[in-house]
Structure 1
C-alpha cells in the first residue's frame, strides 16, 4: 500500500515583501504555511486558525542556523515587526539581546518614565509638575493594567480619548496628554526597554479631527492706555511684574525668576539664564534708560522695606526663592481684575511690535522663540543692536499712550 504525503501539493512557503495586505491575502489560502520576506530572513508562520501567526528571524552564522522568535501576529503588526527586527539585528551584532519588553503594562512604563524624568532633572519644575499631573491624574488611572503587547487604536480610543472627551477637557489639553504618552513609549524604545512601539503609527488626529482653535488675545493695542493705568495703580510687586512682561514680551515663568545679579545697570542688560528659559537658551534683553531708572527705584524701594536679597520678586523676606507660579498669576489677576492674563501681555507686545514696524526676526528673538540654524547665525552677528533699537522705539510708543507708565515713583 502506498501512502501519499498529505503536504505534497502544499505551497508551504511564499516569498514576498511582507505587508498587512500580503498577510491578509495569503491567510485565505490554506496551502500557504508561512511567508518569507524576500528582503530579510524574516518569516511569518500562520497558526491553524489562519488569523494568528508567529514571527521568526533566521540567523545564519558560522554555517549554523538559529531561529529567533520576535512575537505573535496580529499583536505584532507587519510594520512593527520590521522595527523589532532592526533592534534584534543591532543587538545580535553587539552580542546582546533583549528579546522581551521590560514592561508588561502601560502603567509600569509610565511610572518608569516619570521616575526617570524626576531623577534626570532635565525638565523645568513647571514641566515636571505638569508631567506628574498628567501621568498620575489621567494616563495611569485610564490605562491601568492595559497590556502593551497588542495595544491598538481602539484601546487608546476607548480607554483614554473617550473618557477625556466625556469630561469635556479642551482639545489642546487632550493633545498634551496624548503626546506625553507617546513620548514615554518613544524613550523606552530608544533605550531598548521595549521591542517595539505600538503607538508609532498613531497620531492625535486619528482620535480627534476637530482643529484646535488658536486662542486670541483678549486685549488690543487700543486697550493699552487702560492697561497701563491699571498697572500704574497696582502694588509695586504686581506693577513691576506686569510691566516687565508688557515692556519686554517675556513669559511669566521667566520673569518671576529674575534676580538682581542678572540685571546690570551699567551695561543696561537683563540676562535670563538658560535654565530659566523655555527654550533652554540664554536670553539677554537691553534695558532702556527709563527701565533702568525704574528698576533702580524699585530696588531702593525694596531696601527701604527691609529686603536686601537677590530675588527681584522674593517669595519671602528670607529670600530663599522667587515667588511661586500661582503667586505670580495672582499678582497679574490683581491688576487685570480677570480681564487679561500674563500671556495676553506677551501677545499684545508682539502685536504692537508688528504695528510699529519692528522686524519679524527681531520680534521673534525678543519673544525667545526657537529658531533654525540659519536664523541663529544671522542673530549672532546682527541682532543685538536691533533688539535695543526695537525696545527703545516700543517704550517710547508706550510712553505716548501713558506718559507716566515708566515713572520711577512708588507708593509709600
Structure 2
C-alpha cells in the first residue's frame, strides 16, 4: 500500500479512491497539511491536519464531506495555531443545513411544544430556511449573507411577521448549538431583526367589529339550530375569548357546572399554562342544553366537539367549521379579537382581559394579582354575557330569567343582576354525570 496519493479533492474523487485498497492517504497540493486517511474497511476515513510530524484528527468522513471540510479549513487552522496541544475535532455541523436538520429534529422531539408549533417550524425549515441557507457554511454566516440569501428575498414573498418568526427560529438554533458545544461561535450573536428592515409589523386588521355582533349572533343562533357542534364551538370562543385549539379539545370532565368553572389543561393551552375560566349562568344553561342535544343524538363521549373517530376535532376540522361559518369574511381568531375589544368598550379592566385571554403577564404580575383574579374574571364575564344577551344570546342558551336588562343601543350593560334557579338545576345535572 502506497503511503499517499495526490488528488484534487472532491466527493467523487474520494469515493473513487476509496475503492482502491492500495491507497491509504489522500492529499491535495492546493490545501497543504490536509490529509484524508482511510480506515481498513474503506467505507470511512479521518481528516487530519499535519504539522511537522504530528497528525491532528479534525473530522470524520463521510460525516463531514469534502466541501464542508474545505469551508471549515481556515477556522481549523486558526484553532490549531491558538491551541496546538488540543485536537480541533469538528462535530460535523459545518453547514447551516446540518444545523437546521439537527434543530428541526430536536424540536420534533420536544414534548413541551405543541403540534402546531412543531409543524410551523418544520414548514419554515423545509420551505424557506434550508432552500436558501442550507449550503451556506456556518463560518460564512454574516449579516450580509443572511440579508442576501434570506431576509431581502423573503420580505418580497412572505409577511414580515412570518419572516420575523423564521429569523427567531434560526437565531434560537444557533444559540442552542453553541450552548451544547456543537459550534465554536454563534455567527448571529448580536443580530436583531430590525437590523435588516425598518418596516413596522402592523397587526392584522380585525374583520369583526362590535357593531357587527348583533348580526353575528343571529348567524350563530341559526348555526346552533342546524349544526349544534359548529354553533357551540363559535359561541364558546366568543363567550370566553378562547383560542380555537384549546376550545376544540375541551372535555366534559373539565367542565364543572357545580363549581361553575371550565378548566383548560396546560397541555391544551398555547402558553402551556393551565387556564381556569368561570362559567356564568348563561354558559351553564348553554352547556346543559348542548349536552342534552348530544345525548339525544346518542353521544355519551368525553369531548364537547368530537370527530367521527371519537377524538376531538382536529385542527383542520375545526378550521373548516369557521370556513363554513365565516364564508371568508372572518376567522376563528377574529372572534377572540372582537371579544377583547368589546371588553375594553365595556370598561373591563385591561389586566383582567389579558388574564381571560390567558396571555402571559409576567411572573411577578401573575403572582401579585392571582388572589383576586377569579372573582374579577367572573364579574367581567357576567358583564360581557349580559351584554351579549341584549343582542340575542339569551335566545340561544335558553335561560328564562334575565340576568340584566340592557338595550341594543347601549354600550354598557346594566349593573343589576337578577338571580335565577339555574344554579340548583345545573348542580343536580352535574352530579348525575
Tell me the SS of whatever aligns to 1:149: helix
1:184 paired residue number: 173
Cα distance in 1 for residues equivalent to 2:277 and 2:89:
52
RMSD: 2.5
Q: How does 1:140-219 map to 2 (within 5 A)?
A: 140-166=130-156, 168-219=157-208
| 1:324 and 2:314 aligned | yes
| 1:398 and 2:388 aligned | yes
Q: How does 1:245-284 map to 2 (within 5 A)?
A: 245-284=237-276
2:209 paired residue number: 220
Cα distance in 2 for residues equivalent to 1:201 and 1:380:
36
- Residue-by-residue CA offset, 1:201-259 (whole Å, 9 max, x unaligned): 22212222211112121121111100111111112111111111110000111111111
Q: 1:101 to 1:260 in 2, by over 3 A?
A: same
Cα distance in 2 for residues equivalent to 1:146 and 1:169:
22
Deviation at 1:101, TM superposition (A): 5.0
Cα distance in 2 for residues equivalent to 1:298 and 1:98:
67
CA contact (8 A) 1:228 1:405 kept: no
2:365 paired residue number: 375
Q: How does 1:277-356 map to 2 (within 5 A)?
A: 277-316=269-308, 318-319=309-310, 321-356=311-346
Cα distance in 1 for residues equivalent to 2:326 and 2:206:
14
Tell me the SS of whatever aligns to 2:390: helix
Cα distance in 2 for residues equivalent to 1:379 and 1:340:
34
Cα distance in 1 for residues equivalent to 2:370 and 2:339:
23
Deviation at 1:306, TM superposition (A): 2.1
Q: 1:356 to 1:98 in 2, by over 3 A?
A: farther
Count of residues in correspondence between the two structures: 320
- Residue-by-residue CA offset, 1:183-206 (whole Å, 9 max, x unaligned): 111111111111110011222122
Normalising by structure 2, report the TM-score. 0.70
Identify unmatched segments of 5+ residues in structure 1.
1-71, 90-95
2:418 paired residue number: none
Q: 1:355 to 1:100 in 2, by over 3 A?
A: same
Tell me the SS of whatever aligns to 1:233: helix
Deviation at 1:150, TM superposition (A): 2.8
CA contact (8 A) 2:282 2:394 kept: no
Q: 1:383 to 1:97 in 2, by over 3 A?
A: farther
Deviation at 1:140, TM superposition (A): 0.9
1:236 paired residue number: 228
Deviation at 1:333, TM superposition (A): 2.3
Tell me the SS of whatever aligns to 1:120: coil
Deviation at 1:102, TM superposition (A): 4.5
Tell me the SS of whatever aligns to 2:200: coil
Deviation at 1:407, TM superposition (A): 2.4
Cα distance in 2 for residues equivalent to 1:97 and 1:263:
61
- Residue-by-residue CA offset, 1:81-107 (whole Å, 9 max, x unaligned): 9xx9xxx99xxxxxx997645410001
CA contact (8 A) 1:251 1:343 kept: yes
CA contact (8 A) 1:230 1:336 kept: no
Cα distance in 2 for residues equivalent to 1:150 and 1:335:
50
Q: 1:297 to 1:158 in 2, by over 3 A?
A: same
Tell me the SS of whatever aligns to 1:115: helix
Normalising by structure 1, report the TM-score. 0.73
Moved over 2 A (4+): 96-102, 403-409
Identify unmatched segments of 5+ residues in structure 2.
1-70, 400-433
Q: 1:98 to 1:130 in 2, by over 3 A?
A: farther
Tell me the SS of whatever aligns to 1:195: coil
Segment drifting more, 371-380 vs 357-366: 371-380
Cα distance in 2 for residues equivalent to 1:381 and 1:97:
58
2:39 paired residue number: none
